[in-house]
Amino acid sequence: MLTSINGRSVLVTGGSRGIGRGIARVFSRQGAKVMIAARGRDDAQSAVDELTGAGATAAAVQCDVSDWTSVREAVAHTAETFGGIDILCANAGIFPQTKLVDLDPDEWDRVMATNLKSAFLSVKACIPHFEAAGKGRVVLTSSITGPVTGYPGWAHYGASKAGQLGFLRTAAMELARYNTTINAVMPGNIVTEGLDGLGEDYLRTMAASIPLKRLGAVEDIGNAVLFFASDEAAYITGQHLVIDGGQTLPESLEAIANI
């Protein structure tokens, strides 16, 4: 199953921690060559050490996904290192939590640039490589927050994640001529270093509100990304998949209390 990933070149933005690191782990277990892109060198090197220690081919490149020059260089470096780019996992993101009344316009811009503009920049930079290969795959990491749900303090974050889905539909049409698909995963609450920072209370309340009664694991997202990136998913494009343990299903507190 999904043997098509073996030997493919994969760029994972935000692959140094959390969901991105989980995606990198899942792809490398399938024999893919994985490039980790992030700003921080230490976490990226630690991710590479983990993957290569398990026998995989992996490397890291320093990159700020909100900056066009940086993204172009990271994509070029990946193509040079691995002989092309087959799969882009545009995953890097930030989620500072600030209510509207306190939200500084600069923070709004920073969230938009890191989470939304970055999707455009990384896809744009990869197009020549998909064109050269005659095929390609893009998987965006969106969220349930924004496209499906709201949460106080995350107006900017939710707008950026909903914006990714708007971007995806037109991008899917334009990428089709390069035989390239683009889809999005929409994680619920996944246990990562980033989410840990939100505190014990947040994590406990969230787990209680999920029908499957646990937060997600990074590999839960990695496995869905792997499917979208596979040859087996060749005819799926412009779509999104919620992976949230059923969190967005209950209509009321009573509904979740009664299962």
Which residues are near ligand NAP by CB under 6 A?
13-14, 16-20, 38-40, 43, 63-66, 91-95, 114-115, 141, 143, 187, 189-190, 192-195
Structure tokens at 219: 């590999």
Our CB check for ligand NAP shows the closer of 95 and 167 to be: 95
Query: Min. distance of Cβ 46 from ligand NAP in angstroms?
Result: 11
Residue 148 burial (CB count, 10 A): 18
Among the listed residues 188, 194, 190, 16, the one whose alpha carbon sits nearest the alpha carbon of residue 89: 16
18-29 and 41-53 helices cross at what angle (nearest 10)? 30
Residue 26 burial (CB count, 10 A): 23
Buried residues in 60-75 as b, exposed as e (16+ CB within 10 A): bbebbbbbbebbeebb
- Would you call 157 a catalytic residue per the annotation? yes
Query: Min. distance of Cβ 223 from ligand NAP in angstroms?
Result: 15
Structure tokens at 50: 């983990």
Query: Min. distance of Cβ 3 from ligand NAP in angstroms?
Result: 27
Q: How far apart are CA 246 and CA 240, in angstroms?
A: 15
Query: Min. distance of Cβ 9 from ligand NAP in angstroms?
Result: 19
Our CB check for ligand NAP shows the closer of 127 and 225 to be: 225
Q: How far apart are CA 29 and CA 58, in angstroms?
A: 11
**What is the dihedral sign for C-alpha 127, 130, 136, 137?**
negative
Q: Which of 157, 178, 202, 235 is catalytic?
A: 157
- Looking at residue 191, its amino acid is V
Q: How far apart are CA 219 and CA 98, in angstroms?
A: 29
**Quick check: 34 and 57 in contact, CB under 8 A?**
yes
Query: Min. distance of Cβ 190 from ligand NAP in angstroms?
Result: 4
Our CB check for ligand NAP shows the closer of 30 and 114 to be: 114
> Which sequence positions are flagged as catalytic?
157
